[in-house]
Amino acid sequence: MASEPAPFVEPYPGFSEENKGPLILTVTSVLTSVAFVFVTGRIYSRIISVGKLAADDYIVILCILLCICYVALAAVAISYGGGRHVATLEPYQVMNAVYYTVVSFVPGVTSFIIPKFAGVILLARLLNPRRVHVYIMWAISIVYLLLGAGMLAINFGQCTPAAAQWGAVEGTCWDRQITVDYALALGVYSVLFDLYLAIYPTIVLWQLQMNWKKKLALSSSLGFGYCAGAVTIYKCTTLPGLLHLQDFTYAVDDVVLWTNIEANCVLIGTCIPTLFPLVKKLFGSTALGGSTPGYSSSRKKTGGQDGPVVTIGSYPTNGNKKRRGKSRSLSQFDTVVGEGDDGKYIILEERSFHASTAELRPEDASEMERVKATKQSGW
């Protein structure tokens, strides 16, 4: 007579009731909903300011769809027992929970890689860096994309056949240490990339002659990568949990959670700098606070139009672009003749001829000659 399997004994009281699934599903759903609101606000801001969407807008739309897909797959995995201990699940529950978790990493990893391209496009448009710097930015982005593609390849290629990873068939798998080490390398690169995308605009904006409060506001809006970098660092600390194959469904859910948090932080960070047209519509043109001292208007009539609109990283709309020299000033403002009669000076607000996020009134701007006399060399 065959002996019956020994009954399951809890290692400690409450072991069977431990379940991270509901917490993970709640946090990822809420954060993805918040990111969706920011993306919607970004799209609306683009429409009311320039009347059309740009390449980086379509990138963030794709990213929010990936985040939604990731949460949906994670929810399916949780319904089969994701977030619970393997020992408390039936074999079919383990197989399905692992399968949907593995599949979910495709939109999950992609959702925190792709938004950085939108960030690079935004910074290249706003800050008008030198050509060499633009090449460096895109080279870093492409390397990051290739590393992310390698992560996805390892995700499915670590077992032969791939279905052996979730126990559907017999097979062989690599040492999971390889996957963890590669994921850690990707995480380190991601942190450095996030910090680069945050520090660069901070350096540029801090050298402009404007009120320190406005500098702080603009630097914070463009420097949300600090938050994304911090999240990535913490996520890396959860990766060693993947080595515990005997309790994969419980250990992996920390990675599931922080992957989504990282993606949403990056996505929100790429949307914040584009929201000023919406904020201005809701709260008025002084929504970012007080005026910036040291600037006064120098209006001039040009064919019935009040001028000039002063911007960061823009060119005259009459087609006479200023020639790029060896370096462009960090505090350089290009002059554009504005439409209408308000004669506003724009700092980083989205317009049909450039991109931006804050607005100054003419009475708060300095004389144009003084601005041009304070040029500094930089990226």
pLDDT tens for each residue of 47-104: 988 888 989 999 999 999 999 999 999 999 999 999 999 889 999 999 999 999 999 9
Q: Do both 273 and 371 map to the same domain?
A: no
Q: Do both 263 and 234 map to the same domain?
A: yes
Strands 305-306 and 301-302 turn out to be antiparallel
- State residue 214's pLDDT score: 67
Domain termination residue (choose one: 263, 281, 299): 281
Which of 147-151, 207-211, 256-260, 327-331 is predicted with the least confidence, judged by mean pLDDT?
Answer: 327-331
Tens digit of pLDDT for each residue in 20-57?
999 999 999 999 999 999 999 999 998 988 888 989 99
**Percent of the chain residues topping a pLDDT of 70:** 69
Is 349's pLDDT higher than 50?
Answer: no
Q: Do both 131 and 155 map to the same domain?
A: yes
pLDDT band (50, 70, 90) for residue 345: very low
Query: Has residue 191 been placed in a domain?
Result: yes
Q: Do both 305 and 274 map to the same domain?
A: no
Q: Do both 215 and 302 map to the same domain?
A: no
Report the C-alpha gap between 371 and 269 in whole angstroms: 30
Structural domain tally of the chain? 2
Which of 71-80, 165-174, 184-193 is predicted with the least confidence, judged by mean pLDDT?
Answer: 165-174
Domain termination residue (choose one: 254, 281, 308): 281
Query: Has residue 13 been placed in a domain?
Result: no
Is 353's pLDDT higher than 50?
Answer: no
Is 348's pLDDT higher than 60?
Answer: no
Q: Do both 327 and 351 map to the same domain?
A: yes
Is 269's pLDDT higher than 70?
Answer: yes
Query: Has residue 4 been placed in a domain?
Result: no
Mean pLDDT, to the nearest integer, of 326-338? Answer: 34
- Tokens representing residue 289 in the block: 């606070």
- State residue 289's pLDDT score: 53
Query: Has residue 2 been placed in a domain?
Result: no
Q: Do both 162 and 38 map to the same domain?
A: yes
Q: Is 291 exposed, middle or buried (0-12, 13-18, 19+ CB in 10 A)?
A: middle
- State residue 6's pLDDT score: 63
Is 364's pLDDT higher than 70?
Answer: no
Is 290's pLDDT higher than 60?
Answer: no
Q: Do both 32 and 144 map to the same domain?
A: yes
Is 265's pLDDT higher than 50?
Answer: yes
What's 87's domain CATH number?
A: 1.20.1070
Mean pLDDT, to the nearest integer, of 108-112? Answer: 93
Q: What is the mean pLDDT of the chain?
A: 76
Report the C-alpha gap between 313 and 306 in whole angstroms: 21
pLDDT band (50, 70, 90) for residue 264: very high
Query: Has residue 73 been placed in a domain?
Result: yes
Query: Has residue 14 been placed in a domain?
Result: no
Query: Has residue 179 been placed in a domain?
Result: yes
Distance of CA 321 to the CA centre of its chain: 31
Is 358's pLDDT higher than 50?
Answer: no
pLDDT band (50, 70, 90) for residue 298: very low
**Percent of the chain residues topping a pLDDT of 90:** 35
Residue 14: DSSP 8-state: T
Rg (CA), the chain: 25
- Give the 3-state secondary structure of residue 50: coil
Is 373's pLDDT higher than 70?
Answer: no
Q: Do both 152 and 295 map to the same domain?
A: no
Cβ(248)–Cβ(86) below 8 Å? yes
Q: Do both 256 and 351 map to the same domain?
A: no
Report the C-alpha gap between 166 and 150 in whole angstroms: 20
Which of 194-203, 257-266, 341-350 is predicted with the least confidence, judged by mean pLDDT?
Answer: 341-350
Domain termination residue (choose one: 233, 248, 281): 281
Q: Do both 39 and 64 map to the same domain?
A: yes
- State residue 76's pLDDT score: 96
Tens digit of pLDDT for each residue in 112-164?
999 999 989 988 887 788 889 899 999 999 999 999 999 999 988 989 998 89
Q: Which domain holds residue 175?
A: 21-281
pLDDT band (50, 70, 90) for residue 3: low
Mean pLDDT, to the nearest integer, of 241-269? Answer: 86
Mean pLDDT, to the nearest integer, of 316-328? Answer: 40
Cβ(311)–Cβ(354) below 8 Å? yes
Cβ(46)–Cβ(54) below 8 Å? yes
pLDDT band (50, 70, 90) for residue 337: very low
- State residue 291's pLDDT score: 46
Q: Do both 221 and 321 map to the same domain?
A: no
Upper half-sphere CA count for residue 215 (Cβ side, 13 Å): 13
- Tokens representing residue 179 in the block: 């996957």
Mean pLDDT, to the nearest integer, of 8-12? Answer: 75
Quick one: which of 364, 360, 369 has its CA closest to 338?
360
